[in-house]
Structure formats: C-alpha cells, structure tokens
Amino acid sequence: MTLYKGSCHCGRVAYEVEGTLDGAMACNCSICQRKGSLLWFVPRASMRLLTDEAAVTSYEFNKHAIHHRFCAVCGIHPYAEGTDPKGNAMAAINVRCLEGLDLDSVPVTHYNGRDA
C-alpha cells in the first residue's frame, strides 16, 4: 500500500489516502463530465483530512447519495464521500489532485453514469 497526499489548488483542503491505486474511473454523469475528475474509490477510513473540515464545502444533487466535496476558495473538487451498495463508507478520490502521480500510468475505466 502507498500513502498519497492530495489537495485542492490553493491547499485549503488537503488529505492523505492510503491504498493501492490500480485504476481510476471516468464517469460521464452530469457532474463528473463537467468536473473532468478521475475517481479512485477507497474505504473512507483510508482517507484522512489534514485540514480543517470547515474549509470543505459540499454539493449534493439528484438522490443526495454522494457528498461532492470541494474548496470554497479555489473551487477544486479533491474528493467525494458516500456509501457503497453494501452500506460501507467510501471516498471517491480525484486522482488528478494527488501529488507526484503520473496520470498516464493509471488505467482508466469509463462508466456510463449518464444512463445509470
């Protein structure tokens, strides 16, 4: 397992996440397509927020099942939170916000969230 550090652009929202990054998902739903994020799903316990929770702003839509977290200052979306189908707390890490990561080395799976 590897420890990764990530943040928004201005650094007001920063976190660490531990795990094996063996792929990311590109979704074409109405929000992901606009954000352009590449998501890596991990148990929420594998992610630790390093900055004050008050720096994080949240957006929910549709079924309000996913809490899309972003920085109120720079607007970058470094992660989201929700639950998997079994009810386990999960984090969706935007791998584009991880430090020192070679994005070309991460296999990307495309998900049709628009029609899900």
For the chain, give the mean pLDDT: 93
Which among 15, 16, 20, 26 has a CA at the least distance from the CA of 2?
Answer: 20
Burial class of residue 29 in the structure, from the number of CB atoms within 10 Å of its CB (0-12 exposed, 13-18 middle, 19+ buried): middle
Beta strand pairing call for 89-94 and 47-49: unpaired
Pick the CATH number of 2-111 from 2.170.150.70, 3.40.50.150, 1.20.272.10, 2.40.30.10: 2.170.150.70
pLDDT in tens, 67-103: 999 999 999 999 999 999 999 999 999 999 999 999 9
pLDDT of residue 32: 86
Q: What is the pLDDT of residue 51?
A: 94
